[in-house]
Chain A
Amino acid sequence: MTEAIRLPDAEAAGDQKAAADLLPLVYLELRRLAAARLAGESPGHTLDPTALVHEAFLKLGGARPFSTRTDFLKAAAEAMRRILVDHARARNAAKRAGGRRVDLESGHLVSRPRDDALSALDDALSRLAGDHPQLAELVQLRYFGGLTLAECAQAIGVSARTADTWWAYARSWLAVEMDRS
């Protein structure tokens, strides 16, 4: 056959960016919800990240076509990771600065894991993404997105068995990595 030149028409490859396009929207909505929940609450009030993601999903996901469900979950996982990690870092910083109260702008979400552990996980996860991007995606979806392993497998497009192996490996990989730092 002669050398192939593919000249795709404009609309040909548009889907890849869907999750990335959604991210700012989901991120803002999650932050907005967190702020609304905190307004008028007593200091130190905690929020349930799970409930936040659910609510954001119903608000944003509901207005969008179903085909973007996976995109939403990917974006939500990414957004939740940023919010939780930013918040953990902000509180760490506040502690070092002598316990000054952190304003809402820097996020007032309270997550269960210790702030420094979360921050370390974020760093380790970024390093994992350098070596094994799909494994990092899996961890992000499961840990910050609340997906089951089977759903992660579907979202990433691998078999449940592969996802299981990946998870075991990523979990150990991250544990070793976090231990080291």
Chain B
Amino acid sequence: MNELEVFAAAVAVADPVDRAAFLERECAGEPAKRARLDALLHAHGESDSLLDRPAVASPGPDPARTTGHDGEAADEHETPLGFLAPTNRPDSLGRIGHYEVLQLLGRGGFGIVLRAYDEVLHRVVAVKVLSPQVATTSPARKRFLREARSSAQVRHENVVQVYEVGEQPLPYIVMEFIPGETLQQRLDRVGPVDVLEVVRIGRQIAEGLAAAHANDLIHRDIKPANVLIEGGTQKVKITDFGLARAVDDASISQSGVIAGTPMYMAPEQAKGEKLDCRADLFSLGSVVYQMATGRPPFRAESTLGVLKRVAEDDPRPVREIIPETPGWLCDIIVKLHAKKPDDRFQSAREVAAVLADCEGRLKGNAKLEDFSRTPSGETARTQAGRRKWVVVAVVAVLVGVGAWFGHAAALELGNRSELEILPEQGLVSMILLHNDVGVIDENQPHRAVTDWLDMRQPRTLTLSPGRYQLNVTTQPAGTTVSHYEIAAVGMFGSYRNLIPVVQSSAIVTVERGQRVTLKPVMRPLPVPTPDSAAPDGTLPAIFKNSIGMEFVKVPKGSGWLSGGSGKPGETTVQIAADFYLGKYEVTQQEWENMTGLISSHFSRTGPGSEAVKGVPDAELKRFPVESVSWGECQIFIERLNTKEKDSGRVYRLPSQQEWVYACRGGPVDRIGSAFDFYFAKPVNTLLMNQANFAPAEGQGLQRTCQVGSYPPNRLGLHDMHGNVWEWCDDSEAATDGTPGRVRRGGGWLHGPETCSAGRVGGAYPESARNFNHGFRLACSIRDVLDVKP
């Protein structure tokens, strides 16, 4: 065992005698080792290490952030109450001012909360005392007193009333005692609450906030632990204006110190910007969200993570968690959660009015039906606010020609992004998955954004930026989505492109503040060609061999070699006899069947396993084999020929002349038709829906993909351009000492020019392997060979 292992093992032994015995054994005859371990274990036992107080704080139990009327459970015996004056009452723990302390309710905020009896006014009160540890520092003391004075200004039934502020022996606040529980405790106990309760509690918080805001007070720390629910009356009261300050006292914002509980913080708070009352409305949105769903909207493991999510992400839609949540409630939450204060409700009064209206309607309709998406209000002010709200929900449809208008609209999107998917004939539904590892939920990289997206009408989704995967779930029989046309407009310009559909899904990248429009384009599914000899005795157009490899007939004729890059072909080529060429590149499964080897980079055990983690086994088997050398290909061919020695077939690598000829779709009569790329018709640009390559825009797959994922050329050959380079035989040209091996077709790693028909990959060592290189087989039929002169 090395030192770390011995240390870890020793730490695991709790009993000191056993531990000593263990060390005795481990360090027998090595006093230096023993002394070293003793020192380490001694240091381990020391509680006061510099490292225990990180220079940059990570979240953890932070008493300054867990406040509440009866906040955290606290033990009287652990909390020093020595500051209390002696008392004569047997049931009292001591006195502070003219208050007899009866009970320690909790610890939180800047100190402790006590239940006490007011000897003068004969009532039970809550007394919040600044803890002795922090009372000695002047900023904390000042802050505590400022908190007390500011909250004393507010008198409202939904705000805990502050009665008195004292300073001796420690600063303290005397306030209304509310028997009951905090909203946090309620939610911990019961989980999500029903809609009427959400609205009732939300409305009362809004009313309490409206009263505070009327006094120019921002609460700054609205969260479930700061909302009390009185037992019996169920009245809701906001407490702990712990961070409240007058609006004009913005010193804390300007000092750059982030105050408040990040989980419920508004984005402008998280960014340390200047706040106004609307920050509380964002926090209220988070509280309402948590009531409706049972969980806070912005969660992450660290403070940093929470801050980033608050500032940038949209929370998971409420209906994904609780599907029966009425749409209008979701709309209210979304509006409270607008990243820009201007997009929110503009006052707590307005929120209270909207919620009161909802509450009234709900009480009149016991079935809790989704009565309206925009409840109507009473005052002109709410009406005006609501019109804005409707406008926010209506999204301008972006079409390509409207890009300039879209540009202006995109500027308004800020941190949000919008994705619009246009309808297409026959397309019924889709699923949108978030594809961004480490952002939304690190445990679920493929989080479903939508469970089901009705595609019969245009759909616009407001999304956080990231990579999304779009899967079609229902499409018309006999057709499939071939690709999407994408038009994106963002702060840094706009572009149009095509996104391929590979293995039935497409990946779309949505940038911050971008408005992206997708139009699905359908193509018919290929109709299978019958696998049999033609009646006139000519060779079949296709055949499948003993291990399931498919081959396509390439008819004899003449064509042009090389060419491309704008230049016409330079050399004619004569193909004297029909031959066959693999319909696909040789797959990993075929390779494994014949050689027993697993060679590929992009396989379960290869170095690229991470890149194909989400690929199902059945599809991965059909990925092209790569990282195979020329020599290994010869072994494969030899074994296949041995296996099929009686079939009349001779397998081999295609010559590079055959490869180019077949790539171009067979006979090419005119020199002018020597284009770069050959699909159903020859073209000079390679589009993303035509082949697996690396376009300049960086939207490529960055790996190989299942063979046949892209449309074939006119002979029915797939992936001639891109996916992997293919080894070709060049022995005819090898007389002058050149290696006799070339590569054709380019790979997933390359740009379009490399994947063109005319480009030839240079000399490569026989033993070289590359994760960008594979092969496909050619095959001659012995009868045909015999016919040759």
List the interface of chain A (C-beta within 8 A of B).
1-9, 11-12, 33, 37, 47-55, 57-58, 61-62, 66-67, 69-70, 73, 77, 80, 84, 111-113, 117-118, 121, 132, 139, 142-148, 150-151, 154, 165-166, 168-169, 171-176, 178-179
Contact = CB atoms under 8 A, between A and B. Distances in A.
B49 A175 contact: yes
B56 A49 contact: yes
Interface in B726-783: 749-750, 764-772
A52 B256 contact: yes
A173 B8 contact: no
B50 A121 contact: yes
Contacts of B59: 148
Given A113-B55, A168-B11, A54 B439 contact: no
A147 B56 CA distance: 8
B632 A1 contact: yes
A175 B40 CA distance: 8
Nearest to A178: B50
A50 B56 contact: yes
9 contacts: A5-B765, A53-B56, A57-B304, A67-B438, A73-B304, A112-B55, A113-B55, A117-B50, A144-B54
A54 B36 CA distance: 39
Contacts of A143: 51, 54-56
Contacts of A57: 304, 307-308
A169 B7 contact: yes
Instruction: State the 10 A-B residue pairs at the shortest beta-carbon distance, nearest first.
Output: A146-B56, A175-B43, A172-B43, A172-B40, A50-B57, A172-B44, A2-B767, A66-B439, A165-B8, A143-B54
Interface of chain B: mostly helix, strand, loop or mixed: loop
Contacts of B408: none
Contacts of B465: 66
B256 A171 contact: no
Contact of A62 (B60, B258, B311, B597): B311
Given A2-B766, A2-B767, 12 more contacts: A5-B767, A54-B258, A54-B303, A58-B311, A70-B438, A117-B50, A121-B50, A142-B51, A144-B54, A146-B56, A148-B59, A176-B40
B44 A171 contact: yes
Nearest to B601: A6
A164 to B, nearest CB: 9
A171 B51 contact: yes
A68 to B, nearest CB: 10
Contact of B7 (A4, A55, A84, A172): A172
A5 B768 CA distance: 5
Contacts of A146: 54, 56-58, 302-304
A165 B237 CA distance: 46
A66 B303 contact: no
B769 A144 contact: no
B53 interface: yes
Given A113-B55, A143-B55, A47 B768 contact: no
A181 B126 CA distance: 52
A166 B466 CA distance: 34
B475 interface: no
A151 B438 CA distance: 11
A58 B270 contact: yes
A50 B258 CA distance: 9
Contacts of B771: 8, 12
Interface string B567-578: 000000000000
A112 B53 CA distance: 9
A125 B59 CA distance: 23
Interface in B16-46: 36, 39-41, 43-44, 46
Contacts of B629: 2, 4
A54 B629 CA distance: 50
A166 B7 CA distance: 10
Nearest to A175: B43
B7 A148 contact: no
Interface in B160-207: none
A80 B438 contact: no
A170 to B, nearest CB: 8
A111 B256 contact: no
A58 B309 CA distance: 10
Contact of A4 (B304, B437, B769): B769
A93 B49 CA distance: 25
Interface centre among B4, B270, B466 (most CB of A within 10 A): B4
Contact of A55 (B52, B57, B256, B766): B256
A54 B307 contact: yes
B493 interface: no
A171 to B, nearest CB: 5
B442 interface: yes
A9 B632 contact: no
A169 B8 contact: yes
Given A6-B770, A49-B56, A57-B308, A171 B749 contact: no
Contacts of B140: none
